[in-house]
Amino acid sequence: MTRYILLLLLLTLLSPAFAMHEYESEDVSDWQYRWGDSPFVNGLPQWISAPQNVSADWTNINSPVKPPNRNEHNTVWFKAKLPDSGHQYLHPVLYITSIDLMAEVYLDNKKIYQFGDFDQKDKKTFYGWPWHSISLPTDYAGKTIYFRVYSNYRDIGLWGEVKLFEQSSLLFYVLKNAYFEVLVALFSLFVTIITFAFSMMQKNDRHFLYLSAFSLTSALMLLSENHAVQFVFNYPLFRVYLLAISYYALPVFICLLLSSWSSAWQKNWLKKIAYFHASYLVIAIILSMLGVIELAPTFPVFDALFAISIILIIGLGLSLRPSPGSDQQFVMLSFTVYGIFLLLDMGIANSVLPWINLDISIAALIFALVLMLISLRHYSHVQKALKELNEHLEIKVSERTATLHAYAEAEQERAEQLHRLNMLGAKLEELNSRLQGCHDLNEARKILVRKLPEVFLPVEIKVAASIENQPFDSVLAQIELQEVDGSYSVFVHILLANSSSKLLIPRENLDDLISRVKLRLGVTLSSIKLREELQRFSFEDALTGLRNRRYFDDALYRETQLSNRQQQTLSLLICDIDHFKRFNDEYGHEAGDYVLKTLAHLMHEFFRETDIPCRYGGEEFVVIMPSATLANAVDKAEALRNTIAKKSIEFNGEYLGHITISIGVANLSLHSLHSEQLLSEADKALYKAKQLGRNRVESVQI
């Protein structure tokens, strides 16, 4: 369950980005319907085959929703023509917002989709109200699609939208329409926690408990009917039960809330409404779970009862005459807005009003924001009371402990001064020893920033690489680094974090400590810099700045071992500049070196941080791509080849034309080969690319 919630939250947070995705959709047209059920021959309905599919019994209809002249029929057939716009979908799907109550879908004399079980319709007809995604063949255009729909419910047909989408675009479409509702539901859950916490702190005042319960049911109602939830929790019947419980509980908790603020006669009426709806909730859910009734027909009955209750609740709430700016007034106004939205939603759901995409989450958000405002007001009052109490206690405590505290501070200062003088030298040596184990200056700088302030305690300092935007009088000293040419550069600055703390150590002791730090650490840092330079020169190609052949050999062996041990894929690219010798002969070696550096610069920008581009030798370059599939590596190689082929070469103001590269790609997936074999296979692929005409990418899967 936790992973479902996390996945839903991730999809929701990414939904605004998905909503920017451009997609196309097409409406299904030419709808016709036919009451009754088709006879079946060899498992297929006769009505989908000629001449039955062109029979005069089919009647035109604008949309497949509640056809007229139903009489006693519980089964209806619809047919429609799929769009023939010439648009090519890779994975076409038909999206339907909802179906009442079961359906089978036929295309090309085949059943391509089923929701519910027609053979069990006498026992079970209700399977929930999910949205539907029906996969279509790629040659769907212009064909007729048939829907066999069964419903013993008041409504029958396909509700909402019936559109054709690319399968991937459908995800974006659903998330675009659903992410705001999920965010409102999550915000309502957060408000639930806040209001419940206040209810625990104010147990004598129960209205926060009712606010928490109402906010919870509102959040669960939004989540249970939200289309995005279906991606991570595809149990439509369970979601409908959750919707029914949360929806049916709304009038219970709002009545209990208002009754906690009401006079005797108002409280009596509000509690009667609450008990009535609580009874309906329990009876409807239990009877539907026992199979005595279907859950679907309980919704329109509740809608009618709830519509009457909303009017009564609003009337009783307004008769309370809450004072302006009070919690009661805010709650009543926000519930009035919520109630209006609920009434409109009921009218749309029960076909009293024409179908529109009404976003009831807007009303839920308004109510949640009001609850948050009330919570913040009460939090402010509680904090104010606590602050006054703390101030009173602090005055009393400070009066009784002032003398003892002053004496304790003096004794503690003398003890710390003695301990400090003994530990300063030891801390400095410990820090210096730790620096000597660093591999590079970046690691040394991090250690200095973190550990050097401990050496200076109790003087509060901070270590920074720059003194920009720092007060001039806060600079204590700077640690310098000797360069190869004998000059010095500032490595880090030592700054005062608290100027008053400088008085905690005698001035002569502080100056002595600063001198010792600069001298001791400066020598160590220069040694690290020299070691880092030697290390860099041993693994770096001097011309291009890429890693050299020596580094590549070690890295390829290491990455091959890791790939074999962790069962991960590994790709290797070998790139060779086409006709590079002829280019050098024509334009000179300086131009050739410029081309090599240009290619190296492109590789630096082109590949991932985890990829390892190296100069293999001459005009050959290699790229190690950990965790990259063969397809990923080939795509990257093609993109690099295209980029280089399009780049104009200009050197010393002279246009030198274009260069091309050939690339061999090998991928290790068997996890049983050595690095030499992977390199050999990539080299063979490069040779093949050269043989086939150059300026191309060839690959091999090991």
Which residues are part of the catalytic machinery? 619
Alpha-carbon gap, residue 313 to 319, rounded angstroms? 10
Alpha-carbon gap, residue 258 to 210, rounded angstroms? 9
Alpha-carbon gap, residue 572 to 562, rounded angstroms? 14
Best CA proximity match to 78, nearest among 140, 26, 150, 135:
150
Is there a contact between 457 and 491 (Cβ–Cβ < 8 Å)?
Answer: no
Is there a contact between 572 and 666 (Cβ–Cβ < 8 Å)?
Answer: yes
Alpha-carbon gap, residue 431 to 454, rounded angstroms? 10
Residues in the chain: 702
Question: Reduced to 3 states, what is the DSSP secondary structure of residue 2?
Answer: helix
621 DSSP β-pair partners: 575, 615
622 DSSP β-pair partners: 574, 614
Burial code of 180-198, b = ≥16 C-beta within 10 A, e = fewer?
bbbbbbbbbbebbebbbeb
Burial code of 583-616, b = ≥16 C-beta within 10 A, e = fewer?
bbeebeeebbebbbebbbeebeebbeeebbbbbb
Max CA distance (Å), the chain: 110
Is there a contact between 284 and 290 (Cβ–Cβ < 8 Å)?
Answer: no
- 580's CB contacts (< 8 A; 6+ apart) are 592, 595, 618, 619, 659
Terminal C-alpha separation, the chain = 40
